[in-house]
Chain A
Amino acid sequence: MLRNVCIQLKNGLPKSYSTSTSSPASSELAALEPRKLLFPSNYKKPRQVWLESLDTIDERKLTILELHPEIFAANPRIDLIHQNIKWQQNYRYVSYAHTKSRFEVRGGGRKPWPQKGLGKARHGSIRSPLFRGGGVVHGPKSPTPHFYMLPFYIRIHGLTSALSIKLAQDDLHIVDSLEIPSEDTSYIDELIKSRLWGPSVLLVDSVDIMPRNITAATDTIKHVNLMPAYGLNVYSMLKHDTLVLTRGAVDLIEEKLLGHLHKNDSRAVEAKYKLNQV
């Protein structure tokens, strides 16, 4: 969903998010630097969170990070989250339920019995909806697509609401990277248990090529999933109990969402998708 949301920004960005090139030593140092917030707010204080590391089973705190209040302390609009989730469930759903009307059901062209003289009710067809085996009135027809687009800023505010709720309910954790020392499944199991995460955990990185160990360790655990930041969406955030973002992912998510919340050409960009244009 974030990918849909960020299509305009994508072309303008010089860096590529699909490969990890930096060496672990330099990235660890970079992760410890204090964050510089884009579009700092005059009225709201930044939220502070611990930067953790996945390299030990027990929680190891590295430093404190500041998160942008417009993204991580936004108004938790449950209704917008609901709308986002309904949209995500519906836009790709095509109903294949199908029924036949009285004219599509085989037979029934002949008047079953004379109009008068039998003392029976008058009927013109044995496939009338009154008959057993007759057609269905106003029944479902296949295929029925349920596609629609949610307005752009409802999608944006759905994301900020979901992130804010996750942080407020202590279900959001920031880690320096997704590097873990072993590719053993039990390592990640124990880590989640010892840190009181989950049970279901969504791990989000800024790039879509994840470190080998985490990929191997989470491969067989169905409720621990990996996701690149461009795939982050409201449904997955609520589907999983705990959301784990890498610092790179936090930077990327903030940059994209703040970019959309603060751009001044949104009217022109949205205009062409507007219905009922004069």
Chain B
Amino acid sequence: MLTLRILSRNPSAAAGGGILAVMVCMALLAGVLAPYEPVEINLSERLQGPGADHWFGTDEMGRDIFSRIMYGARISLRIGFFVVAIAGGLGALIGATAGYLGGWVDNLMMRVMDVIISFPSLVLAMALAAAMGPSLNNAILAVAFVMIPKFARMVRGEALAVREMPFVLASRVAGAGHAWIILRHILPNCLNSVIVLATLTLGDAILIAASLSFIGLGAQPPMPEWGAMISVGRKFLMDQWWYATFPGLFILFTVVGFNILGDALRDVLDPRIRR
């Protein structure tokens, strides 16, 4: 509650939150608000410029780009959410286990994380997505895999401090097992940092997944995914500027929203860097 109150007084948090609220509304209400069906083909109206009937114009199949962008918000937010849930969940578990247990387990786990981090993220995500076969779900898994070390490294650092706290020692003396301590004591105490990192990672996840769709490894047409729309819209760039322009603007807005909200959350939740 305190967090929310501090956040509401922070103008950049309000701006980020506002942008994201619009995106979430778009995603939730796409079925009600979108003027057309996202995959409805209408060849007589193909490649029309923005106007009263089609605010953002139409694509080569005569589909309404505004409606497709609204439905696309569902896909992009879902991608971001799943990537962060998978990467954050696994990364936090790995980090907490490594930090709490220490010794060879810590060493082994962190060296594996070092190996993953040795690949540039888009390059590794691309190789993984290519190996698993082009589809949206595989792209989500590939991006999540690449993001695991971020969470693992951060949570490990926190776990190293938490495991020395008296209540952990007390729990151990009371006979609690390692799994219980990791799940009940270590992880909950790392939650704030995980939330901050998750918010900041959401933007990155959406960007990388859209990049994969753009090179043909993520969502496949005719799915109204923003990156995939730009990929097709590129062929029409010189004469139908609106096709690739609008989906890109929405990727930009969404990622800006997550980034400024994440920065504001970090200022509030992470006491080490609170200004």
Asked if A and B bind, the verdict is no
